[in-house]
Amino acid sequence: MLSSVCVVVACLLPLASAGIWGAPARRATPKAGASAFVGSTTSFAFPPPSATNAGSAFSTFFPDASEVGFPGPTPTGDEAAEIVTATSVPKVSGAFPLLNPSTFGNKSTAFDVTRLWGNLAPMFSVDSFGLPDANELIPAGCDLQQVHLVHRHGARYPTTGAPPSALAAKLHNATVNGTGFTATGDLEFLNTWTYKLGAELLTPFGRQQLYDLGASFRVKYGALLKNFTDLPVFRTTSENRMVASALNFAAGFFGIPDYQTDYQQVISIENPGFNNSLAPFDTCNNSNNAIGNFGAVQEAKWVAIYLQDATKRLNSMIKGVTFEVSDVFGMQQTCAYETVALGFSAFCDLFTQEEWEGYEYANDLSFWYGEGPGSPTTSAQGIGYVQELIARLTQTPLTEFNSTVNSTIVSSNVTFPLSQPIFVDATHDVVIANIVTAMNFTSLAKNGPLPTDHIPKGQTYVTSQISPFASRFVGQVLSCSSSSSQPTHIRWILNDAVLPMTGIQGCKEDKNGLCELDAFISGMKTRIGETDYAFDCLANYTIPNPDLIIDGRFPANLRNQTI
């Protein structure tokens, strides 16, 4: 017997109208005007709450594999070390099973729109950040000793109150509280469109991204597991999508069901008032006021420019509703969110390639001035992870707590071990942007500050290359000495492209992105010393006008002035 649960603003269709075996049937387009349910929220809860074959009473009917027995031969092979043994490594491109949308007026062009979605883009391998001859493979003459991974969660629904839900509410209000509307042409689908996105949670594609990341990380770095004497300890935060991402990563890395027993998961509280280096915004007050909102202000200036033509074009296809540029921007966001959640979105085809390039730059502005080199709070927020990184690299416990580091967690060698061969930390897009700024990878910031009235040539700060869904930031600790097996060098790889280390004090130019480990540690200690968390995150100030910041810190020469 089939079961279905309908949770909607207004129940849209009777179950009898569904297709065969409960498959959703296509709704016929109304002859005139939008249906009353347009823009209403639809959702589906699974598993069925009234399932009659669920619960412990049925466990005897469905024993697990250990109870059934007869597993067949199970000889274990050796660990993989692709990053050491291979001659090349595969790159992430495409986003199966998502459908890559076309663009308005140019539907036959093979153009990857998904790469222009900023922080909503599915992760793809970046070609280069300025070191075209470098790749993930361990350089000749070096041996891998340790790896540090900071990864973002996978694709998710929009955050609560994001532009897509505001767009849905506007359309729904027009049909329920207004005179209705009629959409034609490329907007005709709006006459029967409903809002199927939840909020905050991982999508099925997002779960796949993290499972795939875990499996690929095991193939690349699994040999380092041979150097563990205790179970690995990985970290994430308490938000649902963060825990789900960490567990899906672990399932890919350790396998199912082994991930339930083969490692320990630290879940740090993510909530206002709790120190958390993986969610530093919760205790950095200035990231939650007008200073933190400055990225949105700068983004809005550009949105008002690049979406003028699109707004006029789309308004010519609808009667009864007038779209503002913010609504049209919400349509572009809806395209991205619907695609990573549902696999396809009719909103994507509404925009030209140029308009999608404008959308990408809008995200770059938001991150540059809100979470990147142009924000005075960025280094302060990212410096907590840097402090933890130096503690791990030097195997020296932290004793000074003057940032977002949680002293309870890091003061225990159980929850914060210092000598692991593999470290894995799950975090958010904005935090990865904070960390790379705090570490002073200046190659990403060399064309800033970013203008708000045009896209500059030679763009170097591209959000989709820094913090897409399932972004990965990897530090390889290496021994490049023939006379010693001790770690001598380190380098960093962001979304599969090696980062130049020339912005870090003491690190020299190197075609492979290598920096001597002692020099890197010294350079990071310098960054820690010059980052004033108390001022940048907690002091009462305004952003300089114009904002010429390029290192994520409030200018030292202005700290004693009234801005």
pLDDT at 523: 98
Contacts of 75 (CB under 8 A, 6+ apart): none
pLDDT at 282: 97
468-518 per-position pLDDT tens digit: 999 999 999 999 988 778 999 999 999 999 999 989 999 999 999 999 999
In the predicted model, is pLDDT for residue 43 greater than 50? yes
Contact 313, 302 (CB under 8 A): no
> For a pLDDT cut of 70, what percent of the chain falls above it?
93
Q: Burial code of 343-372, b = ≥16 C-beta within 10 A, e = fewer? A: eebbbbbbbebbbbebbbbbbbbbbbbbbb
Nearest to 240 by CA among 175, 162, 157: 157
What Rg, from alpha-carbon coordinates, does the chain have?
25
109 against 390, higher pLDDT: 390
Residue 228 CA to residue 422 CA, distance in Å, equals 9
- Farthest-apart Cα atoms in the chain, separation: 81
In the predicted model, is pLDDT for residue 361 greater than 70? yes
192-228 per-position pLDDT tens digit: 999 999 999 999 999 999 999 999 999 999 999 999 9
Q: Burial code of 185-215, b = ≥16 C-beta within 10 A, e = fewer? A: eebbebbbbbbebbeeebbebbbbbbbbbbb
pLDDT at 349: 93
Confidence of residue 3 (pLDDT cuts 50, 70, 90): very low
pLDDT at 344: 95
Q: What is the 3-state secondary structure (H, E, C) of 260-301?
A: HCCCEEEEECCCCCCCCCCCHHHCCHHHHCCCCCHHHHHHHH
Q: What is the 3-state secondary structure (H, E, C) of 101-136?
A: CCCCCCCCCCCCHHHHCHHHCECCCCCCCCCCCCCC
Q: Which amino acid is at 156?
A: R
**Hey, is 478 helix, strand or coil?**
strand
Confidence of residue 6 (pLDDT cuts 50, 70, 90): very low
Residue 489 CA to residue 309 CA, distance in Å, equals 52
Q: Which amino acid is at 58?
A: F
**Hey, is 516 helix, strand or coil?**
strand
CA–CA distance from 511 to each of 136, 461, 501 (Å)? 13, 21, 10
Confidence of residue 122 (pLDDT cuts 50, 70, 90): very high
Tell me what the mean pLDDT of segment 94-107 comes to: 79
In the predicted model, is pLDDT for residue 458 greater than 80? yes
Confidence of residue 110 (pLDDT cuts 50, 70, 90): low
Q: Is the dihedral of CA 248, 249, 255, 257 positive or negative?
A: negative
Tell me what the mean pLDDT of segment 350-367 comes to: 97
In the predicted model, is pLDDT for residue 9 greater than 90? no
Residue 191 CA to residue 175 CA, distance in Å, equals 10
Confidence of residue 108 (pLDDT cuts 50, 70, 90): low
In the predicted model, is pLDDT for residue 22 greater than 60? no
In the predicted model, is pLDDT for residue 134 greater than 80? yes
Tell me what the mean pLDDT of segment 373-388 comes to: 98
Residue 252 CA to residue 208 CA, distance in Å, equals 9
332-341 per-position pLDDT tens digit: 999 999 999 9
Residue 460 CA to residue 447 CA, distance in Å, equals 6
Q: DSSP character for 345?
A: -
In the predicted model, is pLDDT for residue 433 greater than 70? yes
286-299 per-position pLDDT tens digit: 999 999 999 999 99
In the predicted model, is pLDDT for residue 162 greater than 70? yes
Residue 210 CA to residue 469 CA, distance in Å, equals 9
Rounded to an integer, what is the distance from CA 77 to the centroid of its chain? 34
Which CATH number applies to 97-158+201-291+365-552?
Answer: 3.40.50.1240
pLDDT at 69: 87
CB atoms within 10 A of CB 244: 20
pLDDT at 109: 58
Q: 365: part of which helix (H) or strand (E)?
A: helix 353-370
Residue 269 CA to residue 182 CA, distance in Å, equals 47
Contact 477, 517 (CB under 8 A): yes
pTM reported for the whole predicted model: 0.91
Q: 174: part of which helix (H) or strand (E)?
A: helix 163-176
pLDDT at 31: 44
40 against 392, higher pLDDT: 392
Nearest to 130 by CA among 441, 373, 468, 476: 441
pLDDT at 16: 33
